[in-house]
Amino acid sequence: MIRDQAQAWATEQAPVAAFRRMRDAGVANRFEPATWESMVEMGWTGILVPETYGGSDLGYLTFGVVLEQLGRQLTASPLYASALVGASAVLLGGSDAQKEALLPKVVDGSEILTLAVDEGPRHTPGTMATAAEADGDGYRITGRKAQVLEGMSATAFIVAANGPNGIGLFLVPADASGVSRTALSTVDNRGYAHVDLVDVRVGGDAHLGDADVLEAVLDRARAGLGAEMLGVASQAFDMTLDYLKTREQFGRVIGSFQALGHRAADLYSQMELARSCAEAALMAVDAGAEDTAELCSLSKAKVGDFLHEMSNQLIQIHGGIGMTDEFDAGLYLKRARALEPLWGNQAFHRDRYARLLGF
Amino acid sequence: MIRDQAQAWATEQAPVAAFRRMRDAGVANRFEPATWESMVEMGWTGILVPETYGGSDLGYLTFGVVLEQLGRQLTASPLYASALVGASAVLLGGSDAQKEALLPKVVDGSEILTLAVDEGPRHTPGTMATAAEADGDGYRITGRKAQVLEGMSATAFIVAANGPNGIGLFLVPADASGVSRTALSTVDNRGYAHVDLVDVRVGGDAHLGDADVLEAVLDRARAGLGAEMLGVASQAFDMTLDYLKTREQFGRVIGSFQALGHRAADLYSQMELARSCAEAALMAVDAGAEDTAELCSLSKAKVGDFLHEMSNQLIQIHGGIGMTDEFDAGLYLKRARALEPLWGNQAFHRDRYARLLGF
Amino acid sequence: MSDALEAFRAEARAWVEENFPPSLAGKGMGMEGELDGDTKADFELWRARLGEKGWGAPTWPQEYGGAGLSHPQAKVVSEEISRVGGLNPIPALAGMGITMVGPTLLEYGTDDQKARHLPATARGEVRWCLGLSEPNAGSDLASLATKAEDKGDYFQLNGQKIWTSGADISHWCGALVRTDPSAPKHKGISFVMLPMDQEGVETRPIRLISGASPFCETFFNDARAEKSDLLGDLNDGWSVVKRLLQHERQSQTSAGSPMASAKSKAIQDVAKEYAGTDDSGALADGDLRSRLVNHLMDARSHSLTVRRITAEAKGQVKVSAAASILKNSATRISQTKSELTLEIMGAQGLGWEGAEFTAEEKNTVREWLWGKAISIYGGSFEVQKNIISKNILGLPETTQKG
Amino acid sequence: MSDALEAFRAEARAWVEENFPPSLAGKGMGMEGELDGDTKADFELWRARLGEKGWGAPTWPQEYGGAGLSHPQAKVVSEEISRVGGLNPIPALAGMGITMVGPTLLEYGTDDQKARHLPATARGEVRWCLGLSEPNAGSDLASLATKAEDKGDYFQLNGQKIWTSGADISHWCGALVRTDPSAPKHKGISFVMLPMDQEGVETRPIRLISGASPFCETFFNDARAEKSDLLGDLNDGWSVVKRLLQHERQSQTSAGSPMASAKSKAIQDVAKEYAGTDDSGALADGDLRSRLVNHLMDARSHSLTVRRITAEAKGQVKVSAAASILKNSATRISQTKSELTLEIMGAQGLGWEGAEFTAEEKNTVREWLWGKAISIYGGSFEVQKNIISKNILGLPETTQKG
């Protein structure tokens, strides 16, 4: 089973200790090339890709299983940005020729895609300043995209811009003339970059669909991120439970204090409820269900709430040791908070859920 | 001190058992005339009224002390509606002649005033359908006022209506031609009525000020209600603490279970914080402070939150016995919820507080 | 959905369409008393047909009055009945019989006991109550004091039970009694069944804050329970009751309120009606909107969890450990829904009686008060958290069980 | 406000206007290291003037370096310094000296001890750290293992302390040590003071998740503490430390973050800047707005409570019981503020380094991480709740102290 494979690989080959080493070494792209190569070898880059393009077409629920295990170890790589988000855009918005050109390279890791939507600190996919003007048989794109995930290592950006038919997606090679990028140093040490586009010329075949495709891609991105966040939170829960069972104070393990036992029970309940949401969103995407949008917002919001609470409790229950950089708790807290605003925070998705339900 | 007097009188002369008897007997106006007479005798109807009009002019903080003690026993009477809310309207919006005519009667209890503002289930003092058209030297008022406190026993209504200068307040005798009222049976067994006004003619001296006066009266009403609600909640807290100290399970008093001890600590903290808000609002009114509006919204919201939580915990911690009508917990829960929407619930005041702070 | 299940659905649908009296469509629960002439006869007819079909307790074996259906099939049956606006009245008519006593009898009962008790229960003809709690014991069931003395053929019961649901209208009672006073607290307890219609049993309804009296105090004064109605082994009643309570928790995990009618309005629609919307169609009260959507998300995540756990437990007989989570979650959701509905209705949400309040408004108040009981009966929040902490998470037992 | 206090304010204002170097206006805390030439000299001048005036520890007696002011007067002093955009640097320079060690010394110290230690502390010339916690003890202070052996004139200390704030830059340390290993846990503990600049003391900074290292591990290897620096009675150190911690709680009840600069932007203005407003001027993110106003109400109710308790305690020396409430409340408010600010700043609220993030953004992240410590040092939430439950509410002690 892929879960066992992912779990074994992540804990043995890419554990949180590896992430810490990578952080302390200041690796530029914020991931180890060897880690990324292993993932490609194991075929994870092809989980969503149809067999005709060299993938295994196992679907989003399976991808979620892998992302959950990677989330548990904070494993850094462009897997999510490229093989889930990027591949989804090509699958949903690409022509056969585009799929033929891009997907095999996503699978073999030679192409790293990433989605570039937001332009400021908050997620506002409905409005943007970046413009893609018709220019001969292609487009000329100008704008600035903020906090682009794996923005430094990407070989191509899937840029959301105001095109001739309203908002659309456009494929922009990272080495196109007029593209520049600035690496960011963020609290969670993941790879982000601001990307500037000045009069970037792309061909007519760069167009990857319009606003409806963007929304569908975003929902897939949210469902996938929900799985990763569930992994981060589950590991935080396990670390906390373990601590409750082993740490002694006043001559007894602290998990025997009723207040802490009840808190653990609350967190466990939240975790089970969050897991149901995360899995339901992935399954809805796989099934093309009518309520996919609702469930993706539900997943991002409920897993987000749980991760927020769980990461704070991880620190709080561990006390002083949780505050030290030497211990891993801080890494989980930082990652937890960094994932919150990505593709809309809980408030964004509560608002969206209410709108989808008509109030 | 008036606190000791109020406490002694309420616990001995008008305890919650008296409220229960009154409820079970189905007293029409929802209070006992004898209770009301005692309050008049003790001078509580004159707490806000200047000495020239037969009162003691002790201010809102003092009135709050009395209301808190009455809240503790759920003592039913028109004291709050008439001597705090009604008197405030006359004091803030009345001419000398109006004060002369009304205030001595409020003090001696022969006049029972009440404020009639809302027209539907929710508090919306900024918009109303009731109209007061200029008619000769007076006004002609038509409209329906909902859930008017002590609406059946009131001798005069202070009606908010759209007058010639926008929203204004108008004094309408209960026996004026065109006034009719319908008693309501509510969960907390307090006196409420719907009041219908059809072409009610009042004189020019019925005008008691405009929108600014209404807002100021409402803030005084909220500050006073905050004190009463604090009393209801404080009594609920005391009942709960007492139960935690005496009820045994598994061979020990339940207050020794850490989870319940911590909950009591949380509730105590909320109570102390709520008390600060309630007292600050009353003191701000007395001092004519600039931030009176903010503090009155703060009081209604924070005391409201505490009372909501405390009344639920009262039931929850008492377990089965709390669910029986024979025990008093249900009476407190019902009163707690009934006071919530009056003059704006917590959501209303959070919104208002934000607007007052400019966001 | 499998083909076999789809075929079963077609059968079920045909049967329901043929047998459900249309006069009952859209009628909620608790209507029995309010039915008149023809409708009452239709109601009785519908009950009898369901009973005969074995659909009063569809998953029980056919020989004991059930239909031997799988859980997915039983779900299909209830969906098909809902589809025509109907309800299955038998679980309510049987009191604790279908949800708790029956399943426990199936596991612990002798063949004779099953044959004597189950079929009439499955037809909705016998209503059961349970005599578990006693005054001053609270959640601490095992500290019970009701004595059962061995009188040869029968036990003679003396003592008092409290919170016996529907005792005043029940035919039979399952009671936890002390059969060995000298044994430690959890030992020496037995579970007996006895008819309520006898001289030694007296019931007194307890009036609740909602105005209803669904519970009684029940007094045993030399009441008689036959030895042949001892369920499980003598002095092993604690095992029986633990299982019984598991069945109870299982039956309480659905987030709907017990009094919710078949087709109640969505809470967000009620909110729009009372609080209005802004130009974009969003609820005008933004603070309420946030809490409302949070509640709806909680409810959705709960029902997704029920579905997930059901799917994961496919074919397992044992109750999933996660059932303990669902109990607290269902309770919180149901209580939050009531509190939010009250808030939405504002001053109109406080109606007790009279024409000035709509039936929906008055119902909201009663449901709200009634719903406070959910977190009390069947184990408090705290007891459930202790169970999760100890049984699921494996945290050490504290000296504090409360 | 009384006339006398108003007169005092006029005096204070005049003094501040005359003595505060304008070059320091608007400079926040922690700036010391970043000051250059002239400003640094001005900073030193300001410190010296404040120290001379006794305003480093204004409520201490004049003979011990204070100014003998009342609490309301001291508040006026700090208001007047704020008014010109200034800060009083002495409490920070003294480490734990002004807030904790000094007040405790005033109560428990001998005249000689007060005379030797207090004046230099009040001038900001001596920085104090506290050696209380030890590894593996957590909140359970009394289980400490650091030994102090009686060597005639002095105690010889061996053991390890952890979470000693600023130990690497402090001049003196107040340490809790075990002087009688045979006595029960809470007995046999003493409180000694010792200079940090000696061979037997070694410190090792602990790097925190915020990147800062405000705490150390501190090792005593035959460290020396004079007998004349024993504070309180031998083996009665537990009383001393309880009082010390009360002073700590008292100093932590103000809801501001320790790193907040003198004039930070109101959080609602930050929110409007990042999240925008709708046509009515309300914050566009309604969900955030609700939580933000809730936070602001909590903060307001907290500061009103501080004011109320201060007023009620007028003239009382004893710390009010309600101080325990304020600790948790202040912590929660401060942490919520950080979390909300992060949320408001969205992806920009995650900046660690570099020009792509504003100083305010990066500062928010560090403050947020640093602020997680508030609920850990000086007693966790749980410990405070135990105190409230037992000492204030009079609930029986549990066997569970955690």
B194-206 residue pLDDT tens:
999 999 999 999 9
Q: How far off is chain B from A309, nearest CA to CA, in Å?
A: 19
Kindly state whether residues B12 and B103 are assigned to the same domain.
yes
Q: Which residues in chain C are classed under CATH 2.40.110.10?
A: 128-237
Q: Any idea what DSSP says for residue C207?
A: P
C344 close to C271: Cβ distance less than 8 angstroms:
yes
Q: How far off is chain D from C372, nearest CA to CA, in Å?
A: 26
User: Is there a domain that residue A232 lies in?
Assistant: yes
| Rounded average pLDDT over A91-100 | 96
Cα distances (Å, whole numbers) of residue A207 to A98, A100, A195? 9, 15, 19
**φ, ψ for residue A253, nearest 5 deg:** -70, 140
Token pair recorded at residue B55: 């009162």
Kindly state whether residues B216 and B347 are assigned to the same domain.
yes
Name, in order, each residue with C-beta under 8 angstroms of B261's C-beta and a sequence gap of 6 or more. Answer: B244, B255, D385, D386, D389, D390, D393, D395, D398
* A268 near C CB under 8 A: yes
pLDDT score of D170:
96
Per CATH, the architecture of C128-237 is what? Beta Barrel (2.40)
Residue A26: exposure state from Cβ atoms within 10 A (0-12, 13-18, ≥19):
exposed
**pTM of the predicted model as reported, rounded to 2 decimal places:** 0.88
Q: How far off is chain C from A71, nearest CA to CA, in Å?
A: 21
For residue D400, list chain C residues with Cβ-Cβ distance below 8 A. Answer: 398-400
* B328 near C CB under 8 A: no
Residue B110 has pLDDT above 50, yes or no: yes
Residue by residue, DSSP assigns B231-300 as HHHHHHHHHHHHHHHH-EETTEEGGGSHHHHHHHHHHHHHHHHHHHHHHHHHHHHHHT-TTHHHHHHHHH
Kindly state whether residues B55 and B140 are assigned to the same domain.
no
| Rounded average pLDDT over A253-281 | 95
Which residue range forms the structural domain that includes residue A97?
Answer: 2-111
Pick the more confident residue, C387 or D343.
D343
Residue B218 has pLDDT above 90, yes or no: yes
Query: Count of B–D CB contacts within 8 Å?
Result: 114
Pick the more confident residue, C376 or D257.
C376
Kindly state whether residues B102 and B140 are assigned to the same domain.
no
| Rounded average pLDDT over A221-247 | 97
Residue D259 has pLDDT above 60, yes or no: no
| H/E segment holding residue C361 | helix C359-371
Weakest mean pLDDT among A54-63, A102-111, D142-151: D142-151
For residue B329, list chain C residues with Cβ-Cβ distance below 8 A. Answer: 209
Residue A325 has pLDDT above 80, yes or no: yes
Query: Count of C–D CB contacts within 8 Å?
Result: 16
Token pair recorded at residue A213: 């495709």
Q: Considering D248, D273, D356, D367, which one is annotated as catalytic?
A: D248
Kindly state whether residues B216 and B333 are assigned to the same domain.
yes
What tens digit of pLDDT does each residue of D137-151 get? 666 777 789 999 999
Kindly state whether residues A231 and A323 are assigned to the same domain.
yes
Pick the more confident residue, B277 or C323.
B277
Orientation of helix D323-345 relative to helix D359-371, angle to 10°: 140
pLDDT score of C252:
63
Relative to beta strand D128-131, strand D172-178 is: parallel
**Nearest-by-CA chain D residue for A350:** D287
pLDDT score of D400:
45
| Rounded average pLDDT over B251-269 | 92
What does the mean pLDDT of chain B come to?
96
pLDDT score of D137:
67
**Nearest-by-CA chain C residue for D283:** C286
* B258 near D CB under 8 A: yes
We report the CATH number of the domain holding residue A90 as 1.10.540.10
Whether residue C63 lies in the annotated active site: no
Kindly state whether residues B228 and B270 are assigned to the same domain.
yes
Residue by residue, DSSP assigns C64-75 as GTS----HHHHH
A174 close to A181: Cβ distance less than 8 angstroms:
yes
Please give the ipTM for the structure prediction.
Answer: 0.90
Measure CB to CB from residue A359 to each of C268, C301, C388 and give the nearest one.
C268
* B256 near C CB under 8 A: yes
Measure CB to CB from residue A265 to each of C281, C388, C397 and give the nearest one.
C388
For residue B272, list chain D residues with Cβ-Cβ distance below 8 A. Answer: 305, 322, 325
CATH of domain D252-392: 1.20.140.10
pLDDT score of D352:
94
Count of domains in chain A?
3
User: Is there a domain that residue A235 lies in?
Assistant: yes
Kindly state whether residues A235 and A351 are assigned to the same domain.
yes
Domain finish residue from B92, B111, B130: B111
Q: How far apart are the first and last CA of chain D?
A: 44
Cross-chain Cβ contact A319/D274 below 8 Å: no
User: Is there a domain that residue B244 lies in?
Assistant: yes
| Series of mean pLDDT values for 10-residue runs along chain C (402 residues) | 87 95 76 67 92 95 95 90 90 92 95 96 96 77 88 96 92 96 88 97 93 92 97 93 80 47 77 94 96 98 91 64 81 95 96 94 93 71 87 78 38
Domain finish residue from B95, B111, B127: B111
| Rounded average pLDDT over D171-191 | 92
Cα distances (Å, whole numbers) of residue B98 to B89, B93, B159, B203, B210? 11, 9, 15, 12, 15
We report the CATH number of the domain holding residue A326 as 1.20.140.10
pLDDT score of C24:
87
pLDDT score of C256:
40
Kindly state whether residues B233 and B246 are assigned to the same domain.
yes
Kindly state whether residues A226 and A352 are assigned to the same domain.
yes
pLDDT score of C45:
93
Residue D262 has pLDDT above 90, yes or no: no
What does the mean pLDDT of chain D come to?
88
Residue A126 has pLDDT above 70, yes or no: yes
What tens digit of pLDDT does each residue of A139-163 get? 999 999 999 999 999 999 999 999 9
Measure CB to CB from residue C400 to each of B185, B257, B319 and give the nearest one.
B257
| Rounded average pLDDT over D376-388 | 77
What does the mean pLDDT of chain C come to?
88
For residue A354, list chain C residues with Cβ-Cβ distance below 8 A. Answer: 268, 282-283, 289, 292-293
pLDDT score of A133:
97
Name, in order, each residue with C-beta under 8 angstroms of B201's C-beta and a sequence gap of 6 or more. Answer: B135, B138, B139, B140, B176, B177, B178
We report the CATH number of the domain holding residue B151 as 2.40.110.10
Q: Considering C248, C273, C312, C339, which one is annotated as catalytic?
A: C248
User: Is there a domain that residue B207 lies in?
Assistant: no
Residue D63 has pLDDT above 70, yes or no: yes
The CATH number for D3-93, chosen from 1.10.287.370, 1.10.730.10, 2.60.40.1260, 1.10.540.10, is 1.10.540.10
**φ, ψ for residue A161, nearest 5 deg:** -155, 160
Kindly state whether residues A306 and A342 are assigned to the same domain.
yes
For residue C346, list chain B residues with Cβ-Cβ distance below 8 A. Answer: 120-123, 341, 345
Token pair recorded at residue B221: 């009403």
Q: Which residues in chain C are classed under CATH 1.20.140.10?
A: 252-392
Token pair recorded at residue D141: 């202070």
- Interface list for chain D against chain B, based on CB atoms closer than 8 Å: 268-269, 271-272, 277, 281-283, 289-290, 292-294, 296-298, 300-302, 304-305, 307-308, 322, 325, 328-329, 382, 384-386, 388-390, 392-398, 400, 402
What tens digit of pLDDT does each residue of C145-196 get? 999 999 999 999 999 998 898 999 999 999 999 999 898 878 899 999 999 9
For residue A257, list chain D residues with Cβ-Cβ distance below 8 A. Answer: 382, 400-402
Q: Which residues in chain C are classed under CATH 1.10.540.10?
A: 3-93
Residue A312 has pLDDT above 70, yes or no: yes
Domain finish residue from A144, A176, A202: A202
Cross-chain Cβ contact B244/D395 below 8 Å: yes
User: Is there a domain that residue B48 lies in?
Assistant: yes
Kindly state whether residues A94 and A118 are assigned to the same domain.
no
pLDDT score of C322:
67
Instruction: Work out the percent of chain B whose per-residue pLDDT is above 90.
Output: 93
d(CA D353, CA D336): 23
